[in-house]
């Protein structure tokens, strides 16, 4: 049955009616016919032959995907349905949607662990155009001899900062640095953030700024806490895996929490140099992006996917634009002198092997069109602000994301990019929830830090063993 083109942002988790997972029969290569339409270099399914349902992982790209879907339908007659899961609700949404008769034909997986969890729903992409055009085949997820999923973007994260304000701060009497370049380690970053936070009124008077804090709020609500249970915890995992000599992305079955003291120092800095009330960080009342966008904060931990939100001309009321911003590493007090940005991806397209062959062929053709057509490439680069890992993204379609450019700049300086070690997290939503609970207790009600460490270590082993049937 054809699906109507819709624009849906799911705002709550949908109850999962079955446990699903990623493996299944290998399929044939894309056999779609060439689509009509100007600027289209890729293949597309013949009008009326199958339909496409994309369950989108990134809420901030919903509008761009809706437009792309409409354009493709207008060019080919193939109907494309895009549904976007709410922040922090992708897994439960995916489980519920896969259980339906009209299930997603394209969905996102984060790592190889998802493949074991989503058995029977993976179509082998080894003969697909998206795999053929992938510039680095290590960015594909392999499972049981199949190409289970292909990365659709390559991202970096760190600390976004307002370089315009920070450069001005260096001229203020009593500033603890004379150049932004001096912030190259955790101790210096902490000193600068503490000084700014303690002297907000004085700095505003001197510079004419509108600061309320140094660091933007560290939200512990479900829409924001992944920044810390995932990305900040990922730095601790990275250094531990590095010491262990294991695969930095695949990880290992046990962790010791060796670098959680470093996590604590960074976390205490975030919370202690912000205007947000620590007792209400899980309330969902804060918008760290807005705080940085209105010039109220100088520092904000997040990734290059935020770049497009600050593009000039956006109708979000922000006074800060991409020209004012840059990104530095999350200095962790371990190997700051050689640390670069955290670079990797947890965004991989998988195709539903349980869909009809007609819908599979339509889906593969749509994905090929996305990465080869003028419309698709322009949307990913310019509208979504992503860095695409395909050889078709050259010239006008090369990434113009300034945060991503900083990852390359740090690498050119000889810094080592931090691997996305959080991709190894077993039962990722469950483990993160178990870790966030004591972190929230520690932050909001003075709970024990030992409970945070215990959750980090013990729950990792528990879910790893559960995931691997040990």
Enumerate domains of the chain plus CATH numbers.
7-153+346-393 (3.40.190.10), 157-344 (3.40.190.10)
Kindly state the tokens that stand for 74.
Answer: 């207008």
- Residue 1 has a pLDDT of 37
Does residue 207 contact residue 165 with C-beta atoms inside 8 Å? yes
pTM, two decimal places:
0.79
Residues 6 or more apart in contact with residue 175 via CB below 8 angstroms: 169, 195
Does residue 426 contact residue 252 with C-beta atoms inside 8 Å? no
- What distance lies between CA 149 and its chain's CA centroid? 16
- Residue 29 has a pLDDT of 31
- Residue 13 has a pLDDT of 29
Reading the chain (470 residues) residue by residue, the pLDDT tens digits are 333 333 333 323 222 322 233 333 333 333 332 232 333 333 444 445 899 999 999 999 999 999 999 999 999 999 999 999 998 889 899 999 999 999 999 999 988 778 888 879 999 999 999 999 999 888 899 999 999 999 999 899 999 999 999 999 999 999 999 999 999 999 999 999 999 999 999 999 999 999 999 999 999 999 999 999 999 999 999 999 999 999 898 899 999 999 999 999 999 999 999 999 999 999 999 999 999 999 999 999 999 999 989 988 888 999 999 999 999 999 999 999 999 999 999 899 999 999 999 999 999 999 999 999 999 999 999 999 899 999 999 999 999 899 999 998 999 999 999 999 999 999 999 999 999 999 999 999 999 999 999 999 999 999 999 988 75
| Tens-digit pLDDT profile for residues 145-175 | 999 999 999 899 999 999 999 999 999 999 9
| φ, ψ (nearest 5 deg) of residue 158 | 180, -145
Local structure of 166: helix, strand or coil: helix
Local structure of 30: helix, strand or coil: coil
Q: In terms of DSSP bridges, do strands 80-84 and 106-109 run parallel, antiparallel, or are they unpaired?
A: unpaired
| Tens-digit pLDDT profile for residues 184-196 | 999 999 999 999 9
- Residue 48 has a pLDDT of 53
Placement of tokens 């494309």 in the chain? 80
Q: In terms of DSSP bridges, do strands 106-109 and 348-351 run parallel, antiparallel, or are they unpaired?
A: antiparallel
Question: What is the Cα–Cα distance from 303 to 407, expressed in whole angstroms?
Answer: 11
- Residue 257 has a pLDDT of 98
- Residue 87 has a pLDDT of 83
| Tens-digit pLDDT profile for residues 62-92 | 999 999 999 999 999 999 999 999 988 898 9
**Closest to 112 measured CA to CA, from 141, 139, 134, 90:** 141
String of DSSP letters for 362-381: HHHHHHHHHHHSHHHHHIII
Count CB neighbours of 39 within 10 A: 12
CA-CA distances (angstroms) from residue 75 to 72, 108, 370? Answer: 5, 25, 13
DSSP conformational letter for 142: E
Question: What is the Cα–Cα distance from 470 to 465, expressed in whole angstroms?
Answer: 5
CA-CA distances (angstroms) from residue 372 to 35, 149, 218, 299? Answer: 12, 18, 39, 37
String of DSSP letters for 437-448: HHHHHHHHH---
- Residue 118 has a pLDDT of 85
Residues 6 or more apart in contact with residue 183 via CB below 8 angstroms: 166, 177, 189, 192, 328, 331
- Residue 470 has a pLDDT of 54
**Closest to 440 measured CA to CA, from 265, 289, 285, 279:** 279
Count CB neighbours of 168 within 10 A: 16
Phi-psi region of 30 (alpha: psi -120 to 50; beta: other; left: phi over 0): beta
Residues 6 or more apart in contact with residue 138 via CB below 8 angstroms: none
CA-CA distances (angstroms) from residue 72 to 79, 108, 315, 322, 389? Answer: 8, 20, 26, 30, 22
């Amino acid at each position: 049955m054809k699906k109507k083109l819709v624009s849906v942002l799911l705002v709550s988790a949908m109850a999962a009616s079955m446990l699903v997972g990623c493996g299944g029969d290998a399929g044939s290569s894309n056999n779609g016919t060439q689509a009509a339409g100007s600027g289209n270099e890729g293949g597309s399914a013949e009008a009326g032959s199958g339909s496409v349902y994309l369950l989108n992982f990134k809420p901030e790209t919903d509008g761009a995907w809706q437009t792309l879907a409409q354009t493709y339908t207008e060019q080919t007659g193939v109907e494309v349905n895009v549904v976007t899961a709410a922040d922090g609700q992708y897994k439960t949404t995916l489980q519920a949607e896969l259980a339906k008769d009209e299930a997603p034909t394209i969905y996102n997986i984060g790592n190889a662990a998802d493949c074991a969890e989503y058995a029977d729903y993976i179509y082998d992409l080894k003969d697909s155009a998206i795999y053929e055009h992938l510039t680095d085949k290590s960015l594909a997820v392999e499972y049981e001899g199949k190409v289970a999923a292909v990365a659709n973007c390559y991202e970096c994260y760190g600390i976004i900062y307002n370089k315009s304000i920070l450069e001005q701060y260096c001229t203020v009497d009593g500033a603890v640095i004379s150049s932004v370049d001096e912030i190259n380690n955790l101790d210096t970053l902490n000193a600068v953030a503490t000084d700014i936070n303690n002297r907000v009124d004085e700095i505003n008077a001197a510079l004419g700024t509108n600061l309320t804090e140094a660091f933007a709020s560290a939200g512990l609500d479900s829409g924001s806490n992944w920044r810390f249970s995932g990305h900040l915890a990922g730095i601790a995992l990275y250094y531990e895996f590095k010491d262990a000599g294991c695969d930095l992305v695949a990880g290992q079955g046990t962790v010791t929490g060796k670098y959680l003291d470093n996590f604590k120092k960074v976390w205490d800095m975030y919370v202690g140099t912000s205007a947000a009330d620590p007792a209400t960080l899980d309330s969902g009342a804060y918008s760290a992006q807005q705080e940085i966008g209105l010039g109220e904060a100088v520092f904000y931990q997040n990734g290059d996917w935020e770049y497009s939100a600050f593009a000039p001309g956006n109708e979000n009321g922000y006074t800060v634009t991409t020209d004012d911003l840059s990104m530095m590493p999350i200095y962790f007090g371990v190997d700051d002198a050689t640390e670069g940005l955290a670079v990797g991806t947890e965004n991989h397209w998988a195709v539903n092997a349980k869909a009809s062959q007609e819908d599979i062929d339509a889906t593969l053709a749509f994905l090929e069109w996305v990465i080869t057509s003028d419309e698709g490439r322009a949307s990913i680069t310019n509208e979504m602000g992503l860095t695409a890992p395909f050889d078709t993204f050259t010239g006008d379609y090369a990434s113009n994301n300034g945060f991503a450019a900083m990852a390359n700049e740090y690498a050119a300086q000889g810094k080592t990019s931090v691997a996305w070690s959080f991709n190894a997290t077993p039962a990722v939503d469950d483990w993160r929830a178990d870790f966030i609970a004591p972190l929230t207790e520690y932050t909001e009600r003075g709970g024990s830090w030992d409970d945070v460490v215990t959750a980090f270590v013990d729950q990792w082993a528990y879910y790893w063993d559960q995931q691997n049937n040990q």
